[in-house]
Structures are given as structure tokens and as C-alpha cells.
Copies of this chain bind each other. A is one copy, B any other.
Amino acid sequence: MNAWIVTGRSAFALSTYQFFRRAKVVKCITGTVLSTGIVYQFVVKNKVAAASLKLDQDVLKFMATPVTSLEKLSLNKDDIKSRMELLIMEIQAEVCKALVAVDGQSQFVVEKWSRVKDGGGGITCVMQDSNVFEKAGVNVSVVHGTLPHSAAQQMRVRHKELSDGDLKFFAAGVSSVIHPRNPNVPTVHFNYRYFEVDDKKSGKTHWWFGGGTDLTPYVLFKEDVVHFHTLLKQACDQHDKSYYPKFKKWCDEYFFITHRGEARGVGGIFFDDLDTPNKEEVFKFVTSCAKSVVPSYLPLVWKHRNDSYSQADRKWQLLRRGRYVEFNLIYDRGTKFGLLTPEARIESILMSLPLHASWEYCHQPAPASKEAKLLEVLVKPVDWL
């Protein structure tokens, strides 16, 4: 259960004093200095000296040093595994900084953890109970090892080409859920991941990308949803005009709470098992999608963060957050895979759950209320563009 090791816990944007104090603590535990805060510092050790100057500069912008050693990343800098790890580190930092900026008061707590028996680890950044956000989590994980039987079985349902022998895997991804405090600000979720499976029996290596970004408003502002979808469409259109309509539909289907007969939110894009036209092109597409998170979502936070709201708005937000919990625990593929992965760091997987949620027996919004108007578009997905 507790087979992961947290190698560093620190607050983002520390004072210089705090930074040195904390860095020292981290140093005691890990033997390396964990770079944190807006005041960045990186001690170039003998081993790391071999890393390119470019990589050193990039790392200074991250929330922590990457999971894989800089030396290894530098030696394999053209490998998609290294490039994906650097991309997700960059996205994590970009999103965290944007959230800190709009929050104006609070910091991210950064935790670096590693798997003891199996390989890899991750960096979890959480800002909780802050000025603007009830809970904002941005998690990076880079893990590898042998797929446990249950996870392999789940994977074979979608990947018939995988043999029944041992499957070695590598997975790198960034995932995030942002639950704001003000009910007029929507919740956003995004996740971009790269997967590689070595099938020993057939001698083949399978790879694919997956991901998406989707929005869950509590109050429906059509112009906000249109802005959000427009930015996602732009990211898609740069690569393939068929992507947005296809992945928008997939998103509506995937984030559907079947037992409620309603969508979790107003969608966005979602795709999985993407392995065409080639690794390079899909990586570029995923990069565009991940880079669209901040411009598609942050303007909505800036716009509504200080809107006035009623107790009824808050109550409705909590009820919808209950639905969010239902989706994540019952249907979400990432959560399920996480729970089946040995040495899974449960707090990183379940950081997607809101700080507070409610369930009221047989709650029905009043006809023609703004709650009812939101429900209308959840029950029947809308083409926003």
C-alpha cells in the first residue's frame, strides 16, 4: 500500500529562506537537491554535467527535477519517451504557474515520489483550499515495469494484438483536475499520456498516445464553452481537420455517466490508442493539445473568479461534484488503471476528487432554472461550434 517514497515535499514560490531550509531537508532524504519555487536553483553534479546546456535550462522551469535522471534524458534525447517526459514536465509547470498567478495568494505543494519495487515515479503538485481553488492537482508520472495481470487483462480488451505472456510497459503522462471555489468557474480536467508495451512473446513493441481536455461547468455560459471548444479545435486543426469532430464526439461518449443518463460536463476532446500516422506526428499533435490547456481554460477563471453567487449556486455545485466523483470512481479508465497498478500512489490518483461533494436523494432542479438549463445540455450533447 505504502510502497512509494516521497522524496520531497515543498511549496511552490517559497521565500529564499524557506527554499534553502526545505531544500536542505530534501537533500537529506534524497541526496540531490530538488529544485522548487519561483527562485530556481540547480546544482550541477558530476553525472549531470554531461547533460546538454539546453536541458539544464529547461529543467529550471519545472516544478521539480524530472523522474528520469538528466543524464539518461540527455543521452536519449531523441527518444519519444524522453521527449514526452520533458513535455509533461513543461506542461505541469506552465499550468501550475498560470494557476498561481490567477489565485494571487496560494502556493502549490510539490511532492516527488518513486516506486520502490517497480521503476519510475512522479511529481504531484496540489493547491488546496486556496483563494480561487478548492482543489487543483497537476500530476506527472513516468512509470515502467511489468504489467500486473489485472491491468494487462484490461488492456487486452482494447489491444487484441497483445499476447498473453508477460508485458513490459512504459507510461508517461500528465493529468490534472482543477476544482475552483466559485460555482461560476468551471472545473477542467486534462490528461495526456504516452504508452509503450514490449510484447516479449511476439517480440513487438506497441505504442500509442491518449488524452483529452474537458470542461465541467456548474453554471452554463455558452460563450465560455464556445471559447473553450474553439481553442481545442484550433489545436486539432493544425494537424488533421478530422480530429476535432472525431475527438469531440469521443469525449461526449467517454465522459458520459451512463447510470445517470447525463454527461459529466460540456465535453472537449478525448482520444486513445492513437498511433497513426506516425510517432512524430502524434507527438506533435499531443503537444498542441497540451499547450492549449492554459489558453482554453485560464481566461474563464480570470473572468468569473470574483462573480457573486448564492448559497443555492454553491449547493448545486456540490451536487454536480458528487456526479464528478461518481464518474471518476465508476468509469474513469485512468483511475481504474491507477488502482490496478502495483505501488500506485493513491493520493496522486485520487487528487482528482473534489474537496467537498454532496448527494441529495432525488434532487431535481426547478423547471427553467439555470440548473435545469445546464442539465439540458448534459442530457443531450451539443455541437458548440
Q: Which residues of B contact A356 (CB under 8 A)?
A: 318, 356-358
- Per DSSP, chain A at the interface is mixed
Taking the full assembly, how many copies of this chain does it contain? 2
Interface 1/0 per residue, A35-71 and B, CB below 8 Å: 0000000000000000000000000000000000000
Chain B interface: which of A22-30, A228-236, A323-331, A369-377? Answer: A323-331
* Distance A259 CA – B336 CA, assembled complex (angstroms): 11
CB of B339 within 8 A of CB of A329, answer no
Q: Which residues of B contact A354 (CB under 8 A)?
A: 359
CB of B135 within 8 A of CB of A353, answer no
CB of A126 within 8 A of CB of B260, answer no
Interface 1/0 per residue, A169-188 and B, CB below 8 Å: 00000000000000000000
Instruction: Report A36 CB to chain B, min CB distance, Å.
Output: 17
Instruction: Report A113 CB to chain B, min CB distance, Å.
Output: 11
Contact A325 to B330, CB < 8 A, known contacts A2-B261, A347-B362, A357-B356: no
* Distance A261 CA – B339 CA, assembled complex (angstroms): 12
CB of A259 within 8 A of CB of B346, answer yes
Instruction: Report A127 CB to chain B, min CB distance, Å.
Output: 9
Partner of A135, one of B111, B261, B346, B361: B361
In the complex, whether A137 has a CB less than 8 A from a CB of chain B is: yes
* Distance A111 CA – B361 CA, assembled complex (angstroms): 11
Interface 1/0 per residue, A339-363 and B, CB below 8 Å: 1000010110111011111111110
**Interface residues on chain A, number (Cβ under 8 Å):** 34
In chain A, residues 286-308, which have Cβ atoms closer than 8 Å to a Cβ of chain B? none
In the complex, whether A191 has a CB less than 8 A from a CB of chain B is: no
* Distance A358 CA – B358 CA, assembled complex (angstroms): 9
* Distance A128 CA – B135 CA, assembled complex (angstroms): 28
Q: Which residues of B contact A347 (CB under 8 A)?
A: 361-362
In the complex, whether A368 has a CB less than 8 A from a CB of chain B is: no
* Distance A357 CA – B359 CA, assembled complex (angstroms): 9
CB of A353 within 8 A of CB of B259, answer no
Contact A339 to B259, CB < 8 A, known contacts A126-B361, A128-B361, A351-B361: yes
Q: Which residues of B contact A326 (CB under 8 A)?
A: 329, 350
Q: Which residues of B contact A361 (CB under 8 A)?
A: 109, 126, 128, 135, 137, 347, 351
CB of A353 within 8 A of CB of B359, answer yes
CB of B325 within 8 A of CB of A329, answer yes
* Distance A355 CA – B315 CA, assembled complex (angstroms): 11
Give the nearest-CB partner of A9 in chain B.
Answer: B362
In the complex, whether A322 has a CB less than 8 A from a CB of chain B is: yes
Give the nearest-CB partner of A326 in chain B.
Answer: B329
In chain A, residues 248-299, which have Cβ atoms closer than 8 Å to a Cβ of chain B? 259-261
Interface 1/0 per residue, A112-141 and B, CB below 8 Å: 000000000000001010000001010000
7 contacts between A and B (CB under 8 A): A126-B362, A137-B361, A259-B349, A260-B346, A355-B360, A356-B356, A357-B357
Given contacts A1-B260, A2-B261, 9 further A-B contacts (CB under 8 A): A135-B359, A135-B361, A259-B346, A326-B350, A329-B329, A330-B330, A351-B361, A353-B359, A355-B359
